Chains A and B, each alone.
Chain A
Amino acid sequence: MIWSVSWRNIWRNRTRSLVIITAIALGVFAGVYTIAFMFGWVNQRIDSVIHTEISHIQVHQSQYLETYEVHDYISDVESMQEKILKEPDVKAVSSRIIATCMITSAETGAGVQLVGIDPENEKQITNIYTKVIDGAYFEGVKSNPIVIGEKLAQKLKVKVRSKIVVTITEMDGTITGGAFRVAGIYKTANTAYDEMKAFVKADDLRNLLKIDENAGHEIAILLKDNNMEDQVLTKLKSLYPEFQILKWTEILPDMKMMTESMNFMMYIFVVIILLALGFGIVNTMLMVILERVKELGMLMAVGMNKVRVFSMIVLETVFLSITGGFLGILIALVLVALTAHTGLDLTFWAEGLNSLGFDAVIYPEIGLKDVIVVAILVVLTGIISAIYPARKAIHLNPAEALRIDM
């Protein structure tokens, strides 16, 4: 019955309760929606890292990532690619030839990383082909097509079908050049990437470098499931101990740190909101105790012990908090659901966001885990806020409480 007394007590002073419930609801809503927003933001970045830039796992010659030397290649990529593809958790595998070079247009030049790929196979693993905003992905140009980023195109002042010259160091050290024609211009959310990476057909680059037919610098592996990374990684490491095999978080350690610190910051943010709300709740409950001194005196007089009085006040506070918290979470979830598909357009800040590798349209999303954590924090806030008012209540002397004129 204490539960039902506590619950009904909330509604004795409807206005006051609604005010504090609204405050809690708004605060929790802000917290949950911000989490969803940040979470969506970071996940989009992770998604773009996995599906555009890095894939889940990459294989290189052991010191390749330190030197980016064309000599540090994997000599038999094709059979390796086939073998990796046979792993049950692997969805797609791509091998690439990579060379650092100078690209010059009629106007100017720029240093880029030239990536030689098998365009058809590459489609299975990276989604650059979906990001082509002008021209086509390796189509419409007969020989030596090149696909470049918008940022690079702007820098070089070239358009689709423009001719550009690539200056490169061959395997034997001779400097040589090759002419390519722009087939397509792509644009990802990451301008730094767009400026750095230009794609050509693997054979074209091989010819230019005069490198072995079966050589490759990089094998990128896309998995069926994000959670299988470690398992596949261990397996591959045991199969190919001589190579450097890394998952994306190892290749971009700052990304991992950012995601983790973001989580941490979000919780700090929510805790600060709840702390502020907690003071409001304490204030409300102190008013409640003051109003009910006589009633509390009566309850203790007729035999309600301190534990029960304490629990009654705590329960009332918790009910107040979870009503507000539940409403706030509900509103936030509804809004997340509504904006999850349309996205939140931050085009106004697009330039800044893109230079950091972030999309300008953010699709908020939230996991059950975060909702549960917020819900638990709300309950904790209720309990903690109740302690001081409840202590005041149990320290009342029933005889004095009953004497008070109200």
Chain B
Amino acid sequence: MKVLELKNLVKIYNDSAVKVTAVDGISLSFEQGEFAAIVGPSGSGKTTLLNLIGGLDSITEGEIIINGTNISNLSSSKLIDYRLHNIGFVFQAYNLIPVLTAKENIEFIMELQGKKRTERNQRAMELLKAVGLEDRAYSRPSKMSGGQQQRVAVARALASKPKFILADEPTANLDSKSTETLLNIMERLNIEENITFIFSTHDQRVVNKARRVITVEDGHVVSDEKRV
């Protein structure tokens, strides 16, 4: 089943003196259950592409269709609501609310969705278990390692039961051991729960785990290879 389709996507940054075409006519489609890496040199447009897919930035041209819904023309407030219910995000850093515990951070999303307390509580614990952090449920982010924080971020991204998870360089700030743990968790969730992950990375070890590697350069897709 097709979860995401990009049609001739263009993003031009016009705000500075020079026009920057960060994404230059990208068309891609993703199936349910993919584990796809977007790679490319710095400045090639990975973050911009992920931001467009996630509805975080305005599209200059083209269309994004998520599960049959064209999100290209949604107003910014409709987009926020759309993101809340359909897309999970993991960023490179600053993923968590520092004043909330791991469990509260996960519950927060569900509260925004209007889920009941008992459901929130149960699902948060399940997710913490899934990322192997049930013993850190009541720790605040400042008391956790970078790797643990990213695992909580993955759990948080899953909390809203999104159609797919977008992760922009989720391992960029992690050491190799934490990177491996995080990737194993993501891979397991992908295989066992059929959760779609689309992530960008610079890290070859991360690329090696991916079952689809999309290489972008200067805003163009230069290769799109699927592995088995």
What is the interface of chain A, defined by CB distance below 8 A to chain B? 1, 5, 8-9, 11-12, 294-295, 298-306, 308, 397-399, 402-403, 406
Contact = CB atoms under 8 A, between A and B. Distances in A.
B80 interface: yes
B97 A299 contact: yes
Nearest to B85: A303
Given A397-B57, A399-B56, A402-B91, A302 B84 contact: yes
A397 B83 CA distance: 14
B112 interface: yes
Contacts of A305: 77, 80-81, 84, 112
A303 B109 contact: yes
A303 B94 contact: no
B199 interface: no
A12 B111 CA distance: 23
A295 B91 CA distance: 11
Given A301-B54, A399-B56, A402-B91, A306 B99 contact: no
Shortest Cβ-Cβ A-B pairs, 7 listed: A303-B84, A8-B99, A399-B57, A399-B56, A399-B51, A294-B94, A305-B80
Contacts of B157: 302
Interface string B160-185: 10000000000000000000000000
B78 to A, nearest CB: 10
A304 B57 contact: no
A306 B80 contact: yes
A397 B112 CA distance: 20
Nearest to A299: B97
B10 to A, nearest CB: 16
Contact of A303 (B47, B81, B95): B81
Given A298-B95, A304-B112, A398-B56, A5 B100 contact: yes
B89 interface: yes
Nearest to A7: B99
Given A403-B47, A406-B94, 9 more contacts: A11-B99, A298-B89, A298-B94, A301-B56, A301-B91, A302-B84, A302-B89, A304-B84, A305-B77
A306 B77 contact: yes
A207 B98 CA distance: 91
Contact of A5 (B56, B77, B84, B97): B97
Nearest to B56: A399
B123 interface: no
9 contacts: A1-B107, A8-B99, A11-B99, A12-B98, A298-B95, A305-B84, A306-B80, A398-B57, A403-B47
Interface in B63-116: 77, 80-81, 83-85, 89, 91, 94-95, 97-100, 104, 107-109, 111-113
B108 A1 contact: yes
Contacts of A303: 80-81, 83-85, 109, 112-113, 160
A12 B99 contact: yes
B156 interface: yes
A329 B91 CA distance: 45
Nearest to B11: A399
A307 B98 CA distance: 21
Interface string B114-157: 00000000000000000000000000000000000000000011
A403 B47 CA distance: 9
